[in-house]
Chain A
């Protein structure tokens, strides 16, 4: 076999080559380079046409090159051309009738029907092309899905970084958040040179800035995380829930910590049911006019004559649904109510009489026995920004009299208070802790703090997954009594049971692959070895890999709780007690 002296395929672009190859049904033509495509086309033509291979190839070239080198026309020219001869548009590939192994009876009639339908299809597509002729036609090209995916277009590649100073934090869940950052060119050079001298000085400083205007040195609590600034992204674990945090990237030096970048403030979601119980109600007033003839709120009387029903849908219903005959079965006669002693949760809570705290300088609040009454209904009015209420406002005359509730709803100023402060505030405001309400000790904030008979049986086991990653399985069996609380507040349980759709929770190391690789090197952070179950708090889980602080602060250490201290007459100022970090500010 001799190679032709001058290869006619040489002059063709890769697109035409691909079209020819597609026509010849060359396998994986869309992956092949032009030289491989040329070789494959030669091979196929020689196999199919033998000595006339060159001639056949030239015919193919003529056909496909002719199609693809049509000069792009202006919209008007193309429309005129198309109106003159609409079928001159590139036709669809001819319908290939499938060679069936067994010739079937009556197949000819079917084939005719199919052919007629194909013709209609072709007509529809050509009509569509005519309709869109005024849009430039050169980009309406034929192709397949694979070509779209594999089409290499260097232009659409995005830059790795933008060389701008920024640090952005994004919340992930109550236990993790993500930050990415970028340096401008001078700062990048500075960081690189510092990394060569002292790679371990860079830190992410996480500040608890809940309810304050952060100025750089007034954080409620601070925690630190070593990082590699050149990776430019990081996953952070957190044990602060329902807090606002701000992240700063910087490096330590002899005199302290130099901040290079500061992030936006993000809100870490609460990990559990709120301990604040304060029932305030408002009334819904529809903003849009309600057309009573449309939304039927009373006794809806529907008759067929009112709605124009599509007769076709009635006639064709058998193709979709079975007919239905109602059966005279009544479900669920209402069972008698159980006694409230057996189900303490069934007793309604005490209604709230006042929603604002008394004046700080006032004497002890007068004895007030709440009488059962309907919860106060507050007609809705837009409230001012919540920042106003972070400290208890000065009381007005209206607030001091218990009968008149203020018209504007207020937010709880309990963020930043510890348990006793919150409880004091709530009791003076007429509210209750969830623990008070459930008749449990105050220190119970989680299901694991329940008395032993209410605790779930926990089974934990380390296993190895198919990828040799160590995984921990935890399986919990809850006593029946506790499930009574679930509809109201079992957020952990809800997450595991409902969102994970099983009682198993899987433990995985947190962080990207690059982070883990870096951190497991000598000198990397030790905190990488933390594992935390999805949807569980530090108290819920007593694994040996937890940081020491969490273990020593376990509430079992202080069970039973100390006798209640005399309550101070004035609510204490905001304290830092609930913010917990590795280093205090």
Chain B
């Protein structure tokens, strides 16, 4: 039975915008048949990106005019569009289907695990079909469709997720991160980006100049980016501001709605009925049975099939119950929508005459990958916000600006959304050693760009490749991994490798001794941004 319940038409008293930040570092190792870090991408496709696309398709099918903002970083777009990684993903998901089918046989007769095994088998087969047949292996086009229609606003991000505050003394480097990002966006989405997610929300006063130059009209900071602005923001964290020198709009995150999802203690994903991330059959089952589905050298890894729920702070986990988890998702989606309505009602009273905006950014990979029920919850939030309330409307930052164009002018405070709110996660005792080398390479790249204004042939190829290597070395993911302490060797090796290749190119360009074979090899290995032009490292004159 279907209810035909219509809420009375009301003018919304405020807006809610959700932003999903989808990012993965550029990990592509054609020189190896199997590479563990590439599985970050495969897991994200399986658990996050494909479910999100299915969600969009069905929301539109049901006539729900949803609004969502997504960041798709240039490195992620490059990986999703890469034919090698697409081929490898098919192998990966095919293996997963195979393992799930084996699991169906293995768990036959077990009333707790057999339904789950069937669920996984169905889900992985559906993912295979959607990836291969429906989206023809390129998920970017799937997302582009919804952006073109206007339900989804996709914003760009720094080219390789470079953390701009730590490169602020080199404006050319900041310009390159922004310009290359805009180029990549135009290539994939056939239009210019309207907004940008500065990597890790890292902002310093002056970065907005390069956003303006690239035609970008808004960006995001953490709460204190606006709350600590000068002069003090009239509407706290609940309205955008304009940068004084450029007029670029700034949105900041709302702490209350963020905490409801992010917090490991009081957040929704910690519920005892949700799926436990750390109990995977890759670690649990007999080695002889599982060995074809873990790493080829026999090291165990996550397979993606997990049978247990969080249960609590105990090692003895209970079996996962799909129905129970879905009910919990429903309850939490109701709670979230109700909380937003209450919050916006209060804010509308505090700020009489202003339509408050609550902006909730999250990592996209939180939904599905870390929090398995995340897409289900998001789906229900979108539907409940459309059906069950008329207090507020969901929107995108750009749409909010169009509807509420008059906003305050203030200088945002330097900030980031990392731990402690500033730069300390990307500059501390664990990773400070790399900046001396990154800055030196940046200086050299700028020097090359000014010294060789016009080149052609192999020198031009080498200069473009040097720009690629520098951008890859500047990724904020490497110092991030060094700080978190897992996979540190990989991050160190990546920084060193890119800087080594950059330095080789630098010397080769000066001595006019570029080995064409080696250059071809490096172009093949680090093939991100095929259309890059090294002249982005020359500062453009202000218009």
Mark A residues whose CB is within 8 Å of B. 22, 30, 92-93, 95-96, 98-101, 104-107, 110, 113-114, 117, 120-121, 124-125, 127-128, 131-132, 135-136, 139-146, 148-149, 155-158, 161-162, 168, 170-174, 176, 178, 180, 182, 233, 242, 264, 267, 269-270, 272-288, 290, 294-297, 300-304, 306-310, 312-314, 316-322, 324-332, 334-335, 337-338, 343, 345-346, 348-349, 375, 377-378, 380, 382-383, 385-386, 409, 411-412, 431, 434, 487-489, 491, 494-495, 497-502, 512-513, 534-535
Contacts and interface: CB of A to CB of B under 8 A. Distances in A.
Contacts of A149: 489-490, 493
B345 A317 contact: no
Nearest to B380: A324
Interface stretch (B290-298, B308-316, B452-460): B290-298
A168 B439 contact: yes
Given A143-B31, A149-B493, A284 B123 contact: no
B493 A140 contact: no
| Most central of A105, A326, A434 by chain B CB within 10 Å | A326
B190 interface: no
B245 A382 contact: yes
Given A304-B63, A382-B245, A409-B409, A140 B496 contact: no
Contacts of A162: 436, 440
B204 A267 contact: yes
B227 A332 contact: no
29 contacts: A124-B87, A140-B30, A141-B31, A146-B297, A157-B496, A173-B424, A182-B436, A270-B413, A273-B228, A281-B407, A294-B150, A301-B65, A304-B60, A310-B57, A310-B135, A313-B57, A317-B57, A320-B123, A320-B126, A328-B5, A334-B13, A377-B406, A378-B409, A382-B246, A411-B411, A489-B236, A495-B421, A498-B258, A534-B420
B154 to A, nearest CB: 13
Given A121-B91, A282-B409, A296-B150, A412 B379 contact: no
A75 to B, nearest CB: 9
B540 interface: no
B98 interface: yes
A324 B334 CA distance: 13
A121 to B, nearest CB: 5
Contacts of B37: 145
A95 B295 CA distance: 14
Interface residues of B, number: 163
A168 B169 contact: yes
Interface string B202-229: 0011000000000101000011100111
Contact of B32 (A148, A270, A349, A499): A148
B417 to A, nearest CB: 8
Contacts of B35: 145, 148
Considering the complex of A and B, which 5 residue pairs feature the smallest CB-CB distances, nearest first? A173-B422, A326-B387, A328-B5, A313-B57, A316-B126
A500 B36 CA distance: 31
B31 A139 contact: yes
A375 to B, nearest CB: 8
B422 A172 contact: yes
A233 B102 CA distance: 56
A11 B90 CA distance: 41
A35 B194 CA distance: 61
A356 B500 CA distance: 54
A406 to B, nearest CB: 13
B33 interface: yes
B305 interface: no
A232 B422 CA distance: 24
B122 A319 contact: yes
Interface string B483-518: 000000110010011011000000000000000010
Given A332-B391, A382-B247, A346 B101 contact: no
A319 B58 CA distance: 13
A316 B54 contact: yes
A182 B156 CA distance: 37
Given A287-B217, A326-B383, A335-B345, 17 more contacts: A117-B98, A120-B94, A136-B517, A158-B499, A168-B439, A173-B422, A176-B424, A273-B228, A282-B247, A284-B242, A302-B64, A310-B130, A330-B389, A334-B345, A334-B348, A348-B353, A499-B419
Contact of A412 (B230, B245, B388, B419): B230
A276 B230 contact: yes
A383 B496 contact: no
Contacts of A313: 53-54, 57-58, 130, 134
Contacts of B7: 330
Interface string B401-425: 1110111110101110001111110
Contacts of B324: none
Contact of B102 (A110, A171, A337, A377): A110
Given A148-B29, A296-B150, A306-B149, A274 B231 contact: yes
Contact of A320 (B215, B338, B375, B424): B375
Contacts of A22: 297
Given A104-B106, A168-B439, A501-B265, A121 B94 contact: yes
Given A144-B32, A320-B54, A338-B349, A288 B217 contact: yes
B74 to A, nearest CB: 19
B286 A132 contact: no
B232 interface: yes
Contact of B388 (A104, A281, A282, A330): A330
Nearest to B123: A319
A535 B247 contact: no
Interface string B108-125: 000000000001001101
